[in-house]
A and B are shown apart, each in its own frame.
Chain A
C-alpha cells in the first residue's frame, strides 16, 4: 500500500480553536495533526492521507499583515513538506476566504496541490478566481463535513494528475477558463432541444448561466423624515475633476468615498463623470447635480425636510458591473451606513 499523502490544513482562529473575533489578530501558528473540523478532513481522507499539521491564523492578521503572514505560513509549509494543502472551507467569510486563497497560492508556488472551499461570491474568489481551486459551498458552516469531503476528493484527483471536468460537474467555483470541447450534437441541435423542452415545460439546462438576483425584503419606512440622516450614493461615475482614484468607465469593482462636508452643490469645475455607458456632456459641461442632486438635498436640509446629509458621498460607475461586484460594493456601503445610523439612502442610477 502506498504511503498516505501528507496533508496540511489551514484554519482561521475560530475553527482552529484559538478564539473568536477577539483573536482575529492571532499570528500564524502551527498545531499538531488535525484540529477542529480537521478531524472531519482526516475522516474524509481515510487511509489515503494524514493531516500532519494545521496552520492557524487570525483573519485580520492574515489579511492586514499579509506579507508577514505569508512569510510565516510559507516557512511552515517548507518545514512540513505536504503533498496537499487544504484551506478552510471559509464559506461566506470574506477575510477567511482571502486568507485561504493566499495560503493556496503559497502552496502552489511550492509545487504543492492546494484546494480550498468557499461561497462563490467570497472575496477570496473575487480576488483570486483564476488562481485557486475552490469547492463551491453555501454560506452555512453546517455543511462543513460534506464540504471537506469534496475538497479532499478534488485534491486527490488533482494530485493524481487527473484532468478536471467543468466546474459545474466537479463542484468547484468556475475559474474563468473556457475550454473548447466537442459536443455530440451541433449547437443548433442543442438549442432546438432546449427550446422544445422549454415550450413543453420540461426541465432543461442552460449552457450559459445568467446570475439570479436576490429578493430583498423592503426596509421599514423612515418614521420621521424631518429627523432623518440621508446618505447619497451614485452610480453615475461622478469623481473629482481629474479622477484622482482612477474610477473606471465600465465593469467597476470599486467605489470611492468623497467628503461632502461644506459642499453644497457639485460644480462643473470640481466634478466630472467618467461613466462610459451614456453621454456625459450635460453632466460635465452643465451640471453634475443631475446625477447626484446635492444642491437640492442641501436646500431641503436647510429647510428642515431632512435633518442632515451623511458627510461621505459613495461613487461608482454602473456600467456592465458584475452582479457579484455590485453585491459586494453594496454590502460594504450598506455596512458603513448601518454602523453610522443612516436612515435612508438616495441612490441615483441612470
Chain B
C-alpha cells in the first residue's frame, strides 16, 4: 500500500505501507527536477519492493529514505 496518508491504512490494518509524497502525486514530486523526481520515484518503489520482501507481523510503515528502507510499526 503506497499512500501519502499512512495513518489510515495503519489503523485499518494494511500490513505493508509505504509513505508516498502527497495525495495528488504519491510516487514522486513535480516540484523537483526531472532527474531528482525519477530518483525519488525509484526510492519509493524500491522501498515498496523491500517491504514486500520483509517479514512483518502487524501493520508496518516503511519510510523511503537515502539509506535502506526503514520500518516503523503502528
Q: Are B42 and A299 in contact (CB under 8 A)?
A: yes
Main secondary structure of the interface of A (DSSP, over half): loop
Q: Please, which residue of chain A has its CB at the minimum distance from the CB of B59?
A: A218
Residues of B contacting A297 with CB < 8 Å? 45
Q: A319 to chain B: closest CB distance in Å? A: 11
Contact indicator per residue, chain B 39-74, by CB within 8 Å of chain A (1) or not (0): 001101110111011111110000000000000000
Number of residues on chain A facing chain B (CB within 8 A): 42
Identity of the chain A residue whose Cβ is nearest the Cβ of B9 in the assembled complex: A349
- B43 CB to nearest chain A CB (Å): 9
Cβ-defined partner of B30 (8 Å) among A225, A278, A286: A286
**A219 neighbours in B (Cβ, 8 Å):** 15
**A-to-B contact residues, CB < 8 Å:** 213-223, 225, 228, 230, 236, 278-283, 286-287, 289-293, 295-297, 299-300, 305-306, 343-344, 346-350
9 extra A-B contacts, CB within 8 A, seeds A289-B27, A291-B25: A214-B13, A218-B15, A225-B49, A228-B52, A289-B41, A291-B26, A293-B41, A295-B41, A346-B45
A78 shortest CB reach to chain B, Å? 49
Contacts of A300 in B (CB 8 A): 42, 45-46, 49
CB-nearest residue of chain B relative to A219? B15
Contact B2 A287 (CB under 8 A): no
Q: Which residues of A contact B1 (CB under 8 A)?
A: 347, 349
Residues of chain B from 1 to 35 with CB closer than 8 A to chain A in the complex: 1-5, 9, 12-13, 15-16, 20, 23-28, 30
Contacts of A280 in B (CB 8 A): 24
